[in-house]
Amino acid sequence: MPDPPQLSVVIPAYNEASRLPATLARIAAFLDGAPRWRPAEIIVVDDGSRDGTAAVGEGFGGRDGIAVRVVRLGTNRGKGAAVRAGLEASRGEWVLISDADLAAPIEDIDLLHAAGVDLAVGSRALRRELISRRQPWARDLMGRGFNLMLRGLGLTSFRDTQCGFKLLRGELARSLGRQLRLDGFAFDVEMLARSRRLGSSIREVPVHWAHVDESRVRALRHSLQMARDVLRLRLWLWLGR
């Protein structure tokens, strides 16, 4: 049996056929020039897309020391469900979660790794000068309000839990893949809470970031969904579930 990869890159994807080719090419190019992260695997989790997302992933040719796999979810279940499936399918010593739009550049994986912790959480809030293109005011307001809610519920002390760029030790990633339950965008909060309960070391790390249009986040709809989910999470943690 071949040795497990040094790195698994998990990309949750819903209707991403148009921008996935450029994303995969950029990640593969980075890995080509970064032997410290090879062998590597890129796992595209197709979250019930209605376009050719899965076909794009399956048609992207692997390179020396870089494999590409596609995990298909039969129906659209949400980003949390897609990330969970990717974590469970991963085999790497390290697992990077990255959005399909690469709003945080793949190169910043080295900033996360340098933190030397079990879970490094990319953050847009610690050094806002690293943001080259800011998100619309409504979405920024949503994020700030959500973070205040998390602090009020005692669920985090971090300033940004929702940046889609996180690096985990492989053992922790696969453990979380079996434990996480939230299917929506609040899965990041559950990931941090359950990692903390496992005794994992966690650090918030500033990363570069640029807002990308055509975001899958809908301010009102997803704000209500996330508020509901973090209240459920708070209850689960109180009950020890």
Query: Could you say which DSSP state residue 61 is in?
Result: P
Helix (H, G, I), strand (E, B) or coil at 185: coil
Confidence class for position 64, pLDDT limits 50, 70, 90: confident
pTM (2 d.p.): 0.92
Please write the tens of the pLDDT for every residue from 194-238: 999 999 999 999 999 998 876 566 655 667 888 899 999 999 888
pLDDT band at residue 2 under the 50/70/90 scheme: low
Distance CA 126, CA 124 (A): 6
| Contact by Cβ (8 Å): 199, 181 | no
Distance, CA of 119 to CA of 199 (rounded, Å): 11
- Comparing 90 with 136, the larger pLDDT belongs to 90
- Neighbouring residues of 188: CB distance < 8 A, sequence distance ≥ 6: 161, 162, 166
pLDDT digits (tens, 9 = 90+) for 199-210: 999 999 999 999
Going by C-beta distance under 8 Å and a sequence separation of 6 or more, which residues neighbour residue 162? 143, 146, 185, 188
pLDDT, tens digit (0-9, with 9 covering 90-100), for 24-63: 999 999 999 999 999 999 999 999 999 999 999 999 977 8
Query: What tokens does 32 get?
Result: 């080509």
pLDDT for res 142: 77
Kindly state the average pLDDT of the residues 83-106: 97
Rounded to whole angstroms, the maximal C-alpha distance in the chain is 51
